[in-house]
Amino acid sequence: MARVPFVGLTGGLGAGKSTALEVLERLGAATLSTDAVVHELYATAELRDAVVARWGAEVAPGGVVDRAAVAAHAFATPQERAWLEGQIWPRVAARIAAWREDVAAREPAPPAAVVETPLLFEAGMEGIYDATVAVIADEAVRAQRAAARGHVGVDQRAARQLAQEEKARRATYTVHNSGTLEELEGELSGLLASLRGP
């Protein structure tokens, strides 16, 4: 059975990670978004009950977790953030491991199994992947995209992330995403070809 390259995809706010993930899926790669996994986890009673026990019922009005309210508590101090990450990351890692096994059994095998991991290097997760990809874009383009998506607390979030130049330096591959969707597709198509090897 052909071994499917296991790839971590990351990039700064507004660089276009999610778009890159969608394009990779269209090109045949198996894809998983850790953000989507976190959304699913917040819908479980287990995680909901844990954040309510920690911060009170106001973080889950009507039994539904309010991610903005959770973020306000988590970003209040490094200790609170560490507590939340301690709840989330082991569960996300377990989900990624199960998904990877599922992908490995697929016939025909996809060209790659790609996991979008925003804090890949910050969380020290690069060691679990065969290769890592950093999506980068010009600062002006990133600012425009982030504003268009109505990102609040961008500075606070960006402060937790490595600069995109640092991500690019640490990644196995760097993909530039300041141009058109067609250009991005061309770059990612070439990336999948090099992952497959000769």
Q: What is the pTM of this model?
A: 0.84
- Measured distance CA(120)–CA(124) in Å, rounded: 6
Q: What would the mean pLDDT of 104-132 be, rounded to a whole number?
A: 90
User: Domain 6-196: which topology?
Assistant: Rossmann fold (3.40.50)
Q: State the pLDDT at residue 66.
A: 93
**Percent of the chain whose pLDDT exceeds 70:** 91
Mean pLDDT of the chain: 87
pLDDT value at 159 more than 70: no
pLDDT interval class at 1 (50, 70, 90):
very low
Closest to 135 (Cα-Cα) out of 96, 174, 103:
174
- The residues spanned by each domain of the chain are 6-196
| pLDDT tens sequence across 102-117 | 999 999 999 999 999 9
Whether the CB-CB separation of 90 and 50 falls below 8 Å is answered with no
Sequential DSSP letters for the chain = -PPPPEEEEEE-TTS-HHHHHHHHHHTT-EEEEHHHHHHHHHTSHHHHHHHHHHH-GGGSGGG---HHHHHHHHTT-HHHHHHHHHHHHHHHHHHHHHHHHHHHT-SSPPS-EEEE-TTTTTTT-GGGSSEEEEEE--HHHHHHHHHHTT-SSHHHHHHHSPPHHHHHHHSSEEEE-SS-HHHHHHHHHHHHHHHH--
| pLDDT tens sequence across 180-198 | 899 999 999 999 999 876 5
| pLDDT tens sequence across 33-80 | 998 999 999 999 999 999 999 999 999 999 999 998 999 999 889 999
Whether the CB-CB separation of 120 and 8 falls below 8 Å is answered with yes
Q: What would the mean pLDDT of 110-135 be, rounded to a whole number?
A: 90
Contacts of 166 (CB under 8 A, 6+ apart): 121
